[in-house]
Amino acid sequence: MRSLSVLLALAVGGVTAPLAPVAAQTAAAPPTVIRAARMLDVVAGRLVTNATVVVEGGRITAVNPATAPKNGRVVDLGDVTLLPGFIDLHTHLSSEISAGAFTRAVTSTEADAALGAAANGLKTIMAGFTTVRDFGGDATVALGHAVERGTLVAPRVIPARESIGITGGHCDVTGFAPGVREQRPEDGVGDGPWAVTRAVRYQIKHGAQVIKICATAGVLSLEGPVGAQQLSDEELQAIVTEASRHGIRVAAHAHGNAGIKAAVRAGVTTIEHGSELDDEAIALMKQRGTYLVPTTYLVDRINLAVLPPLVRSKAETILPIARESLRKAIAAGVKVAFGTDAGVYPHGENAREFALYVKFGMTPLAALRAATVTATEALGRTDRGVIEAGKLADLVAVPGDPLQDITATERPTWVMLGGRVVKGADPR
């Protein structure tokens, strides 16, 4: 296991520090006592100085106890701020955009995707992200299994398996002759309520813990007007109804107003991108408690030069509008949950999203909440996102004070996943 991690570390250019050995923690192992100059209480919104966090069996067992356990192994992180591990609600770990991306559907295999996901997952956790909600097929369902088994170092994965949409839409494979890679409901493409219901059931059967849909047309696909609604109102309702029966939430890719509103009315939990939010869409999202997952860093970072002309012109149309939408949504108090569309820009740069939320109107605290407590809420979970007894021991340390300088999140020095140090100093 260790040698595989080291091999991956060597294979990944951006990782400078070698991976710390991963010490498997069991309930019987001694507790780990983490000390840090500062810790952020994301709920109360204040920094706690001279923090002590006790971790045992993969979970946080105490925060600033009167006496630390005598048999504990101590890791003193010094002059850093300890934060809950970051959560990115929109990643594509099994792919990364390149000139070849538009023919990948006919040139690469699920095995290629899986090996890519392992390497990209390592970059992502080194950037401080301990949970991702990922839209990446069987490859990232399998990555999630490997992380749970402890055989790969990567974030915990909440996978969608295949995204669901209409024939010829953003979630289909487009741009090829008839007969080439035609998609079925099992692959996420269907027309009519029963076909998309089958698509939902099949994704859940094979590991989906969230359903991702294409409510509207998109940028990175070879189909028509970028904002147009694609799934019909009936199809959207069928998807949400079926997913809800399984206790599973729906994430809707949606750029244009009509599709955004239709998806919100159907009861999706998150709107991904939300590029063209008008006042009515904003009011509807607030009323229904729908989260916006902005994916805004990619606007600065997307490599337009590698895109086919149709796709490039769609990107140039929609991306500037999306930024105005985000500014309006933040000002109006729409719930914003952190998500980046990693894979559209190079993996591992996820934290660059934080500073943009601040630039477009959030306080640094609100931006940090978006990637911790708010993201956890959007996932429908209660087991992470805060540093508190009983929660998963997923932690990240950053230099300085991120409430003063949000870009500190871009320079994590230490990362723990489930009580295992995966970056930086080990306990002794």
Taking the complex as a whole, how short is the minimal distance between the CB of residue 273 and Zn ion, in angstroms? 8
Nearer CB in complex with Zn ion: 239/422: 239
In this structure, the chain runs to a length of: 428
Q: Output the six-digit token pair for 34.
A: 């983490």
Neighbours of 98 (CB within 10 A): 11
Residue whose CB is less far from Zn ion, 172 or 341 = 341
Interacting span for Zn ion (CB under 5 A) from 231-239, 243-251, 313-321, 333-341: 333-341
**Maximum Cα interatomic distance, the chain, rounded to a whole number of Å:** 69
The least distance separating Zn ion from the CB of residue 347, rounded to whole angstroms, comes to 13
Nearer to Zn ion, 86 or 414 (CB): 86
The gap from C-alpha 162 to its chain's centroid, in whole angstroms, comes to 16
88 forms part of the interface with Zn ion (CB under 5 A): no
Q: How far is the CB of 135 from Zn ion (least distance, A)?
A: 6
Minimum Å gap between C-beta 119 and Zn ion is 19
**What span, in angstroms and rounded, lies between the C-alpha atoms of 261 and 239?**
15
Q: What angle do CA 371, 372, 377 make, to 5 degrees?
A: 105
Give the separation between CA 3 and CA 9, rounded to whole angstroms: 10
What is the contact mask toward Zn ion in residues 346 to 385, using x (rule: CB under 5 A)?
----------------------------------------
Nearer to Zn ion, 314 or 420 (CB): 314
- Residue 280: name the closest of 332, 236, 341, 235 by CA: 332
Nearer to Zn ion, 221 or 413 (CB): 221
Beta bridge partners of 129: 86
Query: What's the closest the beta carbon of residue 293 comes to Zn ion, in angstroms?
Result: 9
Kindly tell me which of 341 and 410 has the beta carbon lying closer to Zn ion: 341
- Residues of this chain, 119-178, that bind Zn ion according to CB under 5 A: none
Q: Give whole-number Cα distances, 262 to 231, 274, 325, 379, in Å.
A: 9, 12, 17, 21
Report the run of H or E that residue 398 belongs to, with start and end: strand 395-399
With CB under 5 A as the contact rule, the residue among 56, 134, 172, 341 that binds Zn ion is 341
Return the range that interacts with Zn ion (CB under 5 A); candidates 59-67, 163-171, 340-348, 366-374.
340-348
Supply the minimum distance, in Å, between the C-beta of residue 304 and Zn ion. Answer: 17
User: Could you write out the DSSP letters of every residue in 67-81?
Assistant: S--TTPEEEE--SEE
Instruction: Give the DSSP H/E element, type plus range, for residue 238.
Output: helix 233-245
Tokens read off for 105: 């559907």
Measured from the CB atom, the residue of 53 and 213 that comes closer to Zn ion is: 213
By the 8 A CB rule, do 343 and 163 touch? no
Binding-residue total with Zn ion (CB under 5 A):
1
Q: Is 418 left (phi over 0), alpha (psi -120 to 50) or beta?
A: left
CB of 344 to Zn ion, least distance (A): 6
**11 contacts: CB under 8 Å, gap ≥ 6:** 119
How many C-beta neighbours within 10 Å does residue 279 have? Answer: 9
Report the distance separating Cα 382 and Cα 278, nearest Å.
32
Our CB check for Zn ion shows the closer of 38 and 273 to be 273
Nearest distance from C-beta of residue 232 to Zn ion, angstroms: 22
Given a contact cutoff of 8 angstroms between Cβ atoms, the answer to whether 225 and 216 are in contact is no
Min CB(58)–Zn ion separation in Å: 30
> How many helices and strands, by DSSP H and E, does the chain display?
13, 15
* Token pair for 224: 């028509």
Nearer to Zn ion, 96 or 341 (CB): 341
Q: What span, in angstroms and rounded, lies between the C-alpha atoms of 135 and 164?
A: 10
**What is the smallest separation between the CB atom of 272 and Zn ion, expressed in angstroms?**
6
Q: What is the nearest approach in angstroms of Zn ion to the Cβ of residue 89?
A: 10
The residue among 89 and 393 lying less far from Zn ion, judged by its C-beta, is 89
Comparing every residue's Cβ against Zn ion, the nearest one is 341
In the complex with Zn ion, the residue whose CB is nearer, 297 or 414, is 297
Residues that bind Zn ion (CB under 5 A): 341
